[in-house]
Amino acid sequence: MSTDLRQFRRVVLKVGSSLLVDRARGRLNHAWLAALAEDIADLHAKGADVLVVSSGAIAMGRTVLGLPSGPLRLEESQAAAAVGQITLARTWSEVLAHHGITAGQILVTLADTEQRRRYLNARATTLKLLEMRAVPVINENDTVATSEIRYGDNDRLAARVATMIGADLLVLFSDIDGLYTAPPASDPNAEHIPVVDRITPAIEAMAGGAASELSRGGMRTKVEAGKIATAGGTHMIIADGRTKNPLKRVAEGGRCTWFLTPSNPATARKTWIAGALEPRGTLYVDEGAERALHGGASLLPVGVRRIEGAFRRGDAVIIRSESRVLGRGLVAYDAEDAARIIGRPSREIERLLGYPGRTEMVHRDDMALSD
């Protein structure tokens, strides 16, 4: 695999709290962040979609609020996040604006990436921002996420976001330049691993067991993130973020660990739609729609003749003609609403339903046709 970052069309960069926040001085590492913004602008100017998953809200907020060091209670970290997130988002917006790039803040909770209905909404908004060439700056919504329903670490959050929006590369910037056979700080024989083709139990063991996990966002959550990313067709890199212009350093072949996937986001998504979900209903399409689907189009309400099943928006449904099954897809409407708009042109949707729904019954990105 070449290290040429220009081959990637959609890249998620995850930046950890320790890189962003200078705890001793109680502020963000502005110069470092400005240099990273240069790297981002470079990638963006080459045409890639760039997303940032930025930690630092809690670390920043606790300094501002003068909270003592050591573990925080949940309400304390939620309060700290509320304070820190404002500064964090404003700073990202400023450093990117310096390069003429618009930033958009997205705060997500676990449910936004795990429940299909909410996931589809989060995905649609994020894709719209990318289409408008903005750089989404994403963090967990720590202020409302409670312990049972939160990620807690942005490594796995970043991996879920990356697969959700079909990124082909995720870069985790850390305070270490990749995965080692053992912790390099304590083991002089530890060897750096440049490429992981498959995450085996041996690789997981190198990242340390649960007992050795002292901080959130350690090597263990990074390898967990690697599993999520590679299963979704996204390559992942763990790289040292401590130098200035860390992305440039990776692009120039700086030491890091690549987690490679044999798949790609489009194929992984189609496999997921085609196989992993239990279909909740059936859409019968007419001949015109059948031809359009095979030409790569989305399925519009006008092309659906009738429906079966009590499906909900975001559920998997079977798409078929009267004579044969064509494939599967994630439907954009609940069955009751779908029944009211089938056979009708999309411009009538708002009048028929009383709200402006999606133009497509099943978007082509949410569809897997059988060959």
Which residue ranges make up the annotated binding site for ATP?
14, 174-175
147 DSSP 8-state letter:
G
Q: Is 336 exposed, middle or buried (0-12, 13-18, 19+ CB in 10 A)?
A: exposed
Phi, psi of 199 (to 5 degrees): -85, 100
Given the rule CB under 6 A, which of 56-64, 159-167, 233-241, 285-293 is the region that contacts ligand GLU? 56-64
- Helix, strand, coil abundance in the chain, percent, nearest 5: 45, 20, 35
Which residue ranges make up the annotated binding site for substrate?
55, 142, 154
Q: Which is nearer to ligand GLU, 21 or 300 (CB)?
A: 21
140 binds ligand GLU (CB under 6 A): yes
Given the rule CB under 6 A, which of 51-59, 90-98, 163-171, 292-300 is the region that contacts ligand GLU? 51-59
Kindly state the smallest distance separating residue 114's Cβ from ligand GLU, in Å.
Answer: 16
Residue 134 · residue 101 · CB < 8 Å: yes
145 binds ligand GLU (CB under 6 A): no
Q: Rounded to whole angstroms, how far apart are CA atoms 15 and 312?
A: 36
Count of positions (residues) in the chain: 371
What mask, x for binding ligand GLU by CB under 6 A, covers residues 151 to 180? Answer: --xx--------------------------
362 DSSP 8-state letter:
B
Residue 301 · residue 361 · CB < 8 Å: yes
Kindly state the smallest distance separating residue 93's Cβ from ligand GLU, in Å.
Answer: 16
Q: Which is nearer to ligand GLU, 25 or 324 (CB)?
A: 25
Q: Rounded to whole angstroms, how far apart are CA atoms 329 and 301?
A: 14
Q: Which of 41, 43, 56, 176 binds ligand GLU (CB under 6 A)?
A: 56
Given the rule CB under 6 A, which of 55-63, 118-126, 291-299, 342-350 is the region that contacts ligand GLU? 55-63
59 binds ligand GLU (CB under 6 A): yes
Kindly state the smallest distance separating residue 235's Cβ from ligand GLU, in Å.
Answer: 21
112 binds ligand GLU (CB under 6 A): no
Tell me the two tokens of residue 105: 């803040």
Task: Report the Cα 54 to chain-centroid distance in Å.
Answer: 12
Tell me the two tokens of residue 291: 């031809």
Q: Which of 104, 136, 217, 329 binds ligand GLU (CB under 6 A)?
A: 217
Q: Select from 85, 254, 303, 268 the least CA-distant residue to 163.
A: 268
Q: Rounded to whole angstroms, how far apart are CA atoms 206 and 182?
A: 6
57 binds ligand GLU (CB under 6 A): yes
Given the rule CB under 6 A, which of 113-121, 134-142, 173-181, 335-343 is the region that contacts ligand GLU? 134-142
Q: Residue 144 contacts by C-beta under 8 Å, 6 or more apart in sequence?
A: 78, 109
3-class secondary structure, 36: helix
Tell me the two tokens of residue 101: 């790039």
Residues 79-108 that bind ligand GLU (CB under 6 A): 81
Q: Which is nearer to ligand GLU, 153 or 366 (CB)?
A: 153
Q: Are strands 21-22 and 27-28 parallel, antiparallel or unpaired?
A: antiparallel
218 binds ligand GLU (CB under 6 A): no
Which residue ranges make up the annotated binding site?
14, 55, 142, 154, 174-175
Kindly state the smallest distance separating residue 213's Cβ from ligand GLU, in Å.
Answer: 13
Kindly state the smallest distance separating residue 280's Cβ from ligand GLU, in Å.
Answer: 34
**Count of positions on this chain that bind ligand GLU (CB under 6 A):** 14
**Amino acid at residue number 365:** D
Q: Which residues would be at the binding site for ligand GLU (CB under 6 A)?
A: 17, 55-59, 81, 139-140, 142, 153-154, 216-217
